[in-house]
Each structure stands twice: as C-alpha cells, then as structure tokens.
Amino acid sequence: MTVNHRRGPYVCGIDAAMDVVSGKWKSLILWELNSHGTRRFGELKRGLPGVSEKMLVQHLREMEEDGLIHREVYREVPPKVEYSLTEQGSSLNQALGALGEWGTGRLARIAAED
Amino acid sequence: MTVNHRRGPYVCGIDAAMDVVSGKWKSLILWELNSHGTRRFGELKRGLPGVSEKMLVQHLREMEEDGLIHREVYREVPPKVEYSLTEQGSSLNQALGALGEWGTGRLARIAAED
DNA sequence: TTCGATACTCACGTGTTGGTAAGCATCGAG
DNA sequence: CTCGATGCTTACCAACACGTGAGTATCGAA
C-alpha cells in the first residue's frame, strides 16, 4: 500500500500521461530540464520560484521512478546532484508541445477579453 | 471569491492548459463528446463508468465556463440537456492527441515489462 | 395516487496535495 | 569551534478533490 500510489488502471493513453504529469510543478520541471539539459537541485529550486523543497524532492523522485528523469549523485562535500531528462522525459516534453501552444492561445484570448 | 477559483497567474501555456484539463474526468468528457458529437447528461454518465453525478455536473459546469463545451437545455418534461464541444474544446482535444499517443506508448512499455 | 424518468442540488466525510518550519550530515573557511 | 553551503527528511496542518447518499421538480403512464 505504500507503493502503487500510481499505475491505476488507465482508461486510455491520456489517462496514463496525465497521471505522470499531474503535480503542481512537474511540467515546469520538465521544461526547465529541457531548456538547460542538466540542472542541480538548487538550480531547479531557484528556477521554480515558489516551489517548496519538499515538493521538489517528491516530484523529482516520482519522475525518476516513472523513468522521465535521470538522477546523478556526485559523492562530494558539499553534496552535488544533477538531474536530466531521459529519452522518455524528452519525448513527453515534445508531446506537451501542442498542449502548450493551445494554452498560450488561451492566455492570449483571456488577455484580449479585458 | 466565489469565482476566480481558476485563472491563477500562469507561468506558461502548459500551466493554462493543465488548469483547464485537470480533473479526474475532464479529458474523458472531452473524448466522449469528440467521439459522439453531442451527448445528453445521462449518456455521458453511462459513458464514463464510475463517475459520480456530482463530479460530472461540476466538471461540465467548469468546462462550460472555460468555453470548452456548449450546454443546450430543452425545456421539456422530463428534462433534456445536450452537451457538445465548442471550437476551443475541439482544438484542445486535438492538442491532447500527442499526449495521448505518448501515454499509449507508455502503457505498451509498462505492459511489456511484465 | 403512486411511480419512473431526467437532470440536477446539497450535506457530509475521507483521502490526497501541497505548504511551513525545523532538523540532519559533511566538509572547508574563518 | 562555529558557520555556511548543499541536498535532503520529517512532522504537522490547511485546503481541496472526490465519492456517497439523500432530496428536488415536473409530467405522463399505470
């Protein structure tokens, strides 16, 4: 019961994708890693204004477990950990492209309303 | 304060799109309406096994408010209400296509693991 | 006169999500 | 000998998402 907090029986592909992306900061993490290639924990934290350390860690762990990102630990002091996209993470990011464009259009529409 | 439960300040397009799609049944509602063109409340309910009436109503109202779907009421007895996609809803559905394919690929990968 | 069909609405409870604030381990610099 | 940097971990709590089960209005059929 501690595991299996994901992989609910999915109705369709969207379901499966949403499960992996849902989380307040996940799409932004994806974007951040996609833009910079490789980022340390602290860099991600600074790149996502408002994120709490707890959520950042939690999201990163889940995304690693889901095979979206790679976590590289350098045994140094002070510690250094680097995150990067896996191929799956990268392709997910691409798949989010169309959605992002739709959202951008929506933002423009909302702005035009005022 | 009763309104404005959405439209948080968005960081990017993905944010704005996710806001509109997040909800346990929303993408399925979109899909259902896309497949059938027009559906009555009861038909949607039967098409989404497990959905509660409360959530179905709530999601439909939010999606209407977000301009994704159109709600047509026929003043008859017993009542009849038809839902359909607006142009925005339809384009959102298209934008979700890539994500759906990614998810389908992921499902295949997961299935192959066993 | 009661019943069923339809499309809801409402009160309530529970599990999940996310934030806050504190603490931990290690090393070099001062 | 204390301090700061880094990457976490933990306990606690408030807000929210979602489900359950009941109730509502109207009319025709039985």
What's the average model confidence in pLDDT over B38-49?
96
Confidence class of residue B104 from pLDDT cuts 50, 70 and 90? very high
**pLDDT for residue A1:** 38
Instruction: Inform me whether the pLDDT recorded for B1 exceeds 50.
Output: no
* Successive 10-residue mean pLDDT values, chain A, 114 residues: 60 94 97 97 96 97 97 93 98 97 96 84
Nearest Cα residue in chain B from A30: B14
**What is the mean predicted confidence (pLDDT) over B17-21?**
96
Q: What is the pLDDT of residue A86?
A: 98
Instruction: Check CB contact under 8 Å for B13 and A104.
Output: yes
Which nucleotide has the least CA–C1' distance to A78? Answer: D6
User: Is the CB of residue A38 inside 7 Å of nucleic acid strand C?
Assistant: no
Give the pLDDT confidence score for residue A5 in this predicted structure: 59
Q: How close, in Å, is residue A103 to chain B by CA atoms?
A: 4
CATH architecture of B13-113: Orthogonal Bundle (1.10)
> Which helix (H) or strand (E) is A74 found in, with range?
strand A69-74
d(CA A102, CA A106) in angstroms, rounded, equals 6
